[in-house]
């Protein structure tokens, strides 16, 4: 059997892109705050007072990952949890002053990193590339839970 051309395999290319992103993130943005941690913090800067489940949905993280990210950000003092006055079983999340400072600093760094990451493409190609990968990512999230909350994910019965 002959080897396959992995340059035509989206998963292989996505992994390579993720490796490049990880390298750039660690060298240009932060070795302490991960990209998913920044995404959660960013969601809470945009909409303070979200609950953990909603934050996870906003940034595309599964339940256990968002729980770990929220826990780490809380331990670092970057976000606070407060009980929802309308539902005592739920906690609402808000960035702290330290969290807002870190977010401002990392926002500048992520903008620079994105310029480097997308530099091989023209402005028009960058727009098209981002649109295409956004569409694929959105569709992939639908594969995880095609019928919405409570429906089984693909491959599960």
pLDDT tens track for 25-79: 999 999 999 999 999 999 999 999 999 999 999 999 999 999 999 999 999 999 9
- Domain 10-143 carries which CATH code? 1.10.10.10
Tell me: pLDDT of 156 over 90: no
What's residue 74's pLDDT? 97
* Consecutive H or E run containing 89: strand 87-95
**Sheet strands side by side (includes 87-95):** 50-51, 87-95, 79-84
Which ranges constitute the DSSP H helices of the chain? 10-24, 35-46, 52-59, 63-75, 97-118, 123-144
What's residue 123's pLDDT? 97
pLDDT band at 145 (very low <50, low <70, confident <90, very high): low
pLDDT in tens, 76-93: 999 999 988 888 888 899
What's residue 157's pLDDT? 38
- pLDDT (mean) for 129-155: 73
What's residue 10's pLDDT? 93
Q: What is the pTM of this model?
A: 0.85
Instruction: For residues 28 and 112, give the distance between their C-alpha atoms in angstroms, rounded to a whole number.
Output: 8
Q: Which one has a higher pLDDT value, 85 or 116?
A: 116
């Amino acid at each position: 059997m002959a080897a396959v051309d992995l340059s035509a395999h989206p998963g292989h290319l996505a992994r390579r892109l993720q490796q490049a992103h990880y390298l750039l993130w660690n060298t240009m943005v932060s070795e302490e705050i991960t990209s998913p941690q920044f995404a959660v913090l960013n969601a809470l800067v945009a909409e303070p007072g979200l609950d953990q489940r909603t934050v996870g949905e906003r940034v595309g993280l599964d339940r256990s990952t968002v729980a770990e990210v929220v826990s780490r950000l809380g331990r670092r003092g970057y976000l606070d949890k407060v009980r929802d006055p309308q539902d005592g079983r739920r906690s609402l999340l808000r960035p702290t002053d330290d969290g807002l400072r870190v977010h401002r600093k990392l926002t500048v760094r992520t903008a620079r990193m994105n310029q480097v990451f997308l530099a091989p493409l023209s402005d028009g190609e960058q727009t098209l590339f981002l649109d295409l990968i956004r569409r694929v990512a959105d569709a992939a999230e639908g594969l995880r839970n095609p019928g919405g909350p409570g429906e089984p994910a693909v491959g599960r019965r």
